[in-house]
């Protein structure tokens, strides 16, 4: 009987410790905590990679300054996928910025 009570205490202790480490901070739901971290800051309009200045490109979430400078250096683009096709940005960077950019054609 003592062995059963000891096992029950151990299981209860494990459950309490597990709940303490997996519970969200006070006043926050787990869904809210995860969604804040996953969402980038909202962007009003996509940035045109053919005409945007360095400052405008820097507002694109997930685009570092060095990659923004490369985008400017290798203009013009017929489509935003050319950033990846021509090796201007890495696949990781493209995945982060593709929803925040456009490439309007330049008419001479």
Q: Of the candidates 100, 89, 96, which has an alpha carbon nearest to the alpha carbon of residue 38?
A: 96
Taking only the tens of pLDDT, the chain with its 108 residues reads 666 676 767 766 776 656 555 555 555 555 544 444 444 455 579 999 999 999 999 999 999 999 999 999 999 999 999 999 999 999 999 999 999 999 998 776
This prediction's pTM: 0.59
Cis, peptide link before residue 76, omega less than 30° from 0: yes
Residues 24 and 30: beta-carbon distance below 8 Å? yes
Q: Of the candidates 41, 54, 61, 55, which has an alpha carbon nearest to the alpha carbon of residue 101?
A: 61
């Amino acid at each position: 009987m003592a062995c059963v009570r000891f096992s029950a205490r151990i299981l209860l202790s494990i459950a309490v410790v597990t709940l303490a480490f997996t519970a969200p901070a006070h006043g926050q739901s787990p869904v809210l905590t995860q969604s804040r971290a996953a969402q980038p800051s909202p962007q009003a309009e996509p940035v045109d990679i053919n005409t945007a200045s360095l400052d405008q490109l820097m507002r694109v979430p997930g685009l570092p300054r060095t990659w923004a400078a490369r985008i400017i250096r290798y203009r013009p683009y017929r489509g935003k996928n050319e950033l990846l096709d021509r090796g201007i940005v890495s696949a990781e960077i493209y995945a982060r910025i593709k929803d925040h950019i456009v490439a309007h054609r330049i008419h001479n």
